[in-house]
Amino acid sequence: MGSKNPSADAKYAADIVISCHIDDSLIVCSLLSVMRKFKLALLHCFTGTVEGSVTHYLGCQLIRDHPNRISQLMQTACTERLLRSFEMWDEIHFIATPMLPGPCRVKADCPDTPSPTLQCRYQSIVSSIGYLVQMT
């Protein structure tokens, strides 16, 4: 990221990388002056705010190592919040993958009429895990 020698017809003197999700955007550039110029131009065209230094983005913790110019998005805190919200944090069990063959669930194990509360909880867990997986 961050070519400082863009083509002659480039509007900015360095590459700008933008990550957008609904109404959140993360803008990075290797040159602070270029990023400031771009943000001013963006805010001239659109209503928005500059929130300053980012520590979290889309539920993930952003860890930056400025001297080495490295950034990481970590899901640790997001994963812990998810597990705690479903009261599963204290029930963490590590399982070898691929899993060893063993007993599995079959339709006969299921009740004839599922519990609406259990069904709603299951759907919430699955959708939360889906969101978490999309961030990897």
Q: What pLDDT score does 40 carry?
A: 92
Total number of domains in the chain: 2
The answer to whether residue 87 is domain-embedded is: yes
Q: Do 65 and 45 share a structural domain?
A: yes
Q: What pLDDT score does 43 carry?
A: 92
Q: What pLDDT score does 1 carry?
A: 44
Q: What pLDDT score does 41 carry?
A: 93
The answer to whether residue 1 is domain-embedded is: no
Structure tokens at 99: 């899993």
Q: Do 56 and 83 share a structural domain?
A: no
Q: Which residue has the tokens 């209503």?
A: 47
**What is the spatial distance between Cα 61 and Cα 45, in angstroms, rounded to a whole number?**
29
Distance of CA 36 to the CA centre of its chain: 24
Pairing of strands 70-74, 56-57: unpaired
Q: What pLDDT score does 5 carry?
A: 55
Q: What's the domain range around 85?
A: 77-99+112-134
Q: Would you give per-residue pLDDT tens digits along the chain (136 residues)?
A: 445 555 666 788 889 988 887 878 888 888 889 988 999 999 999 988 888 888 888 778 888 888 887 888 888 888 888 889 998 888 777 777 777 777 787 888 888 888 999 999 999 999 988 888 876 5
